[in-house]
Amino acid sequence: MRSLIMMKANVLFVQLGCSKNKVDGEIMMTNLMNAGFTMVDTEEKSDVIIINTCGFIEAAKEEAISEILNAVSFGKKVVVTGCLAQRYQEEILENFPEVDAVLGIHELDHIVPAVEKVLAGEKYASFCKTQEKEPNYKDRVLTTPFYYAFLKIADGCSNGCSYCAIPKIRGKYVSRPMESVVAEAKAMAEQGVTEVIVIAQDTTRYGMDLYGEKRLVPLLSEIEKIDGIRWIRLHYLYPDAVTEELLCKIAESKKILPYFDIPIQHCNDRILKLMNRRTNKKELLNLLHNIKSKMPHATIRTSLISGFPSETVEEHEELVAFVKQGYFDRLGVFAYSTEEGTRAARITGKLKKAEKTRRVNEIMALSSQISLQKNKQKIGKSYTVLVEGIDTVNHIYFGRTYMDSPEIDGTVYFEADFPVDIGEYVTVEITGCDHYDLTGTAKQSYDQGGNNVSDSSRNP
């Protein structure tokens, strides 16, 4: 979805793609603002339009191209950066002569000279295969609401899934030094951030390249010590690398949320092998059972790929049956998209678009019913809710529980007979639901420290 980052002056920054790409965009905006540039919220007000693109799947590429075409139609200076620029640099230069500058993903510190060059009437292009130095994470401007922020602990990926172009775009997995990550988390807390969302293409392998061992648990221990941070949420945990040590750490922690974002992609052993995933159905079931045994109230989110090349009807039905077991509280399904240059692109037996769509819809319909059943079980229970806003039309507040990551999960709508501020934590008793959202009534509020004894975020 398109997000226009609004500031004050002559640069419009169009942010596309995932949360990891958002962090890159925030770093570029920080560099521009430090150099004297500010931002505007419409094309008409801008002198320069910067499009930070995604190039992961076909739909993302189409969105990025649409934004480029829109930008050049205004006759302004146009800069294209991000994953699409990294992956198709020559094609962009050739097919979009109106584009004034193209930067790869490792050129975050080149954004200022790029804008200065195009404003002087020059063209600019810069691409590196690796990052020259660590970008300025600590001082980056945050475009998320003041109470949460994304903390990127690594870039790139070395997992080598056969369907994925990320390693070709972003390179091998590169962890950030722990000291740098912790310093950034402290800076976030000083700005009022209370929820830190830890992200990477694969957070479970943090530290392997730098320290020769996984260091996610020690990193989390350091972030836990930071005053002001109340919720620590983990994204992108690869199932084969979720250790017993990590599970125990989350189960014992008062800050790390029992929220598991674990992309399994499929459950059939043959398909998993074709995907070059380092796990199998038995191991997946053991992991899911282990999580729920240790943390009965844990929320598990996953993503699936439906219609992978040569996937049979029986293998699809096996995936449906797997989902039907009810381990997943949140679920997203993507129809397989052929990515050029990947091994999966060479696998025969491609399914027709209509059949892939049918299979996706079947799984999503099932997931929706499971979600409704789970939500009905929440009625009468109380949860801690991070307040995100006020619906002025219906005169109710809304926010998220520990079970809900921003932008991708559900919302709690609630009434309150006492003043409630955005960014505050309140206890809400659930009184109703639909397939994805909850409704309720606020019972008690918390200060930013969240030390109230009735805090139910750990024990719904």
pLDDT digits (tens, 9 = 90+) for 307-357: 999 999 999 999 999 999 999 999 999 999 999 889 999 999 999 999 999
Reported confidence tier of residue 9, pLDDT bands at 50, 70, 90: low
* 171 within a domain of the structure (yes/no): yes
pLDDT greater than 90 at residue 383: yes
pLDDT greater than 90 at residue 192: yes
* 408 within a domain of the structure (yes/no): yes
pLDDT at 314: 98
pLDDT greater than 90 at residue 237: yes
pLDDT greater than 80 at residue 130: no
Residue 160 and residue 261 share a domain: yes
Q: What is the mean pLDDT of the chain?
A: 91
pLDDT at 277: 96
Specify the CATH number for the domain of residue 435. Answer: 2.40.50.140
Q: State the total domains in the chain.
A: 3
Distance CA(30)–CA(400), nearest Å, equals 28
Residue 118 and residue 42 share a domain: yes
Specify the CATH number for the domain of residue 90. Answer: 3.40.50.12160
Looking from the CA of 98 toward its CB, the CA atoms found within 13 Å total 14
Residue 107 and residue 153 share a domain: no
pLDDT at 452: 46
Residue 69 and residue 178 share a domain: no
Residue 429 and residue 372 share a domain: no
Tokens encoding 333: 């399904």
The count of other CB atoms within 10 Å of the CB of residue 413 is: 17
Answer for the pair 364, 311: CB distance below 8 angstroms, yes or no: no
Last residue of a domain, one of 323, 350, 376: 376
Specify the CATH number for the domain of residue 292. Answer: 3.80.30.20
Tokens encoding 335: 């129809």
pLDDT greater than 70 at residue 136: yes
Residue 292 and residue 200 share a domain: yes
Whole-prediction pTM value? 0.92
pLDDT greater than 70 at residue 3: no
Q: Which of 40-44, 191-195, 308-312 has the lowest mean pLDDT?
A: 40-44
* 132 within a domain of the structure (yes/no): no
pLDDT greater than 50 at residue 149: yes
Residue 156 and residue 94 share a domain: no
In terms of residue numbers, what domain contains 100? Answer: 3-126
Last residue of a domain, one of 352, 376, 400: 376
